Amino acid sequence: MVREEAWGCRHTLALLYFFGILLSCALRVNLSIAIVAMAGTRIDEVKYTTRLNQSGACLLPEDGYLLGDKQAIEGDFDWDAGDLGLILGAFFWGYTLTNFLGGRAAEHLGGRLVFGIGIVIPAFLSIVTPFCAYQSKWLLIANRILAGVAQGGTLPSLAVLISTWVIPKERSKFTSYVYIGSNLGTVAAMSLGGLLSSSTFMGGWPSIFYLFGILGLVWGIPWFLFIRDSHEKHPRVSAKELEYIAQEGNTMRTKKVIAIPWKDLGTSLPFWAIVFACFGNSFGFYILLNGLPQYFANILYFDIKSNGLLSAVPYLGMTLLLLFWGQLTDSFVQRKMLSVRTLRKLSTAVGCYGPMLGLVALSFVRCDAVAALVILCLSISISGVTYCGYPVSNQDIAPNLSGTLVGLANTVGAFTGILAPGITGLITQGNQTPDAWRLVFLITAGGYLISTTFYLIFATDQVQPWNECKSRQTKEIKQELHSPRPGTMDFS
């Protein structure tokens, strides 16, 4: 058994991917907090001052907003709840369209190029977002759609690079470290976004888009300088690291591009288990991601500075728990105390059933701000352990098609980025009450229940026969039949 080096090229990949995912998420989330300042909070409307027994709305505190300057935000744009749903969902129209294409592109062109483009182009679009918003609501929507198109290949390219560089027993740990970046990106965008929106720095809310846009362009320099698509192509990889990776060669992604086995995918329950889990978890994630700032502002009456900080706290908790969970479970797998299959199912169950129960509880706290905050923090924190679950299953069952599988599953998941704000807007438009949000939360909890249960029944960690192209399988079967050495390949 070859021991791993303290720091190798795959660790550099993980580090830069960590910062890339952080910026990717920040570039996606920045609008969720900025839009509170852009559209305003309109404290003077009747629905916010009507007594609870008349309209169902929570009572406004006598001195105004909680924990802050106690003033309403007069937005720059006259957008209603329907407009907010359309604008927040625009990114995911583009993102949904290109996940599958991004996965195939990563397999053909390499994950390095696809992921790099997925950060640099949205970074530029972020810088011009304020200009687009002031020109036209539809130009802003077009900007967000283009950003989504560019980012469609980010997660599929992650699967391609990890299945090429990282051996299976390390994948949960590496994946958890990388995905911590997405949580910290949310923390950075929401906390800094709240502070910047309430300031006068570079016009207030526009500075959010300028900051993360510039950081994204700067990140692209080391990414394209130091990252390569595979260990064989890397000029600085050591012989020891090559040997360490090669010891698990049969479970690693090969260089060749495999034709998509559509019929096999259509009848593969392990693949559909991943798709179902991705749909339910993504729907819950986007409900909370896009709805949380609005829920805090319109139901619990937090000012925008506190809103951003409070919206970020649950994702910080998610980061800490994911760091602990990934390290702990990988050590269990390496010591053979836990199988890979059990790890995937346990992580998915804890990370999805936990938020499901939290949303059910949240549906009944009504105007209790403290209880709502505690439940939301716990629910979102627990959801982070799913990153060690179903998202890694794509690389387990088909490393040669990992980009394609992630692209297909994430297309379904990304569609919920359109569906979630649309449903939220439809239910809460003109009805910003605890009862309206209860319906949103219960629908989301039902999605968690159905999708996670399906995954737990049908998921596996076994490499599927269709991971190899049919022509190669046929050739190897013939060789096996005529070979004096049986058992050269297992098709069970």
Q: Which of 219, 303, 367 minimizes the C-alpha distance to 43?
A: 303
Instruction: Say which residue, 430 or 108, is predicted with more confidence.
Output: 108
User: How many residues are listed for the chain in this entry?
Assistant: 492
First to last CA, the chain: 27
Q: What's the mean pLDDT when you consider all of the chain?
A: 77
Lowest mean pLDDT among 4-13, 96-105, 107-116: 4-13
**Using one digit for the tens of pLDDT, what is the confidence trace for 338-388?**
888 888 899 999 999 999 998 899 888 877 777 887 888 888 888 888 888
CA distance 177 to 106: 21
**Ramachandran angles phi, psi of 260, nearest 5°:** -75, 120
> For residue 63, what are the contacts with CB-CB under 8 A and spacing of at least 6?
70
pLDDT at residue 281 tops 50: yes
Distance CA 359, CA 371 (A): 12
- Classify domain 9-66+73-481 at the CATH class level: mainly alpha
- 3-state secondary structure at position 17: helix
Distance of CA 60 to the CA centre of its chain: 34
Instruction: Report the C-alpha gap between 321 and 23 in whole angstroms.
Output: 21
Residue pLDDT, tens place only, 61-93:
554 444 444 455 566 777 876 777 788 878 888
Helices (H), 247-366: 262-266, 269-298, 304-334, 340-362
| Residue 106 identity (one-letter amino acid) | A
Instruction: Please check whether residue 442 is in contact with residue 363, taking contact to mean a CB–CB distance below 8 angstroms.
Output: yes
Q: Is the pLDDT of residue 97 over 80?
A: yes
Contact 239, 231 (CB under 8 A): no
Scanning 363-433, the segments in alpha helix (DSSP H) are 369-383, 390-397, 402-428
pLDDT of residue 6: 63
Model pTM score: 0.67
pLDDT at 226 over 80: yes
- The token duo for 274 is 């991943």
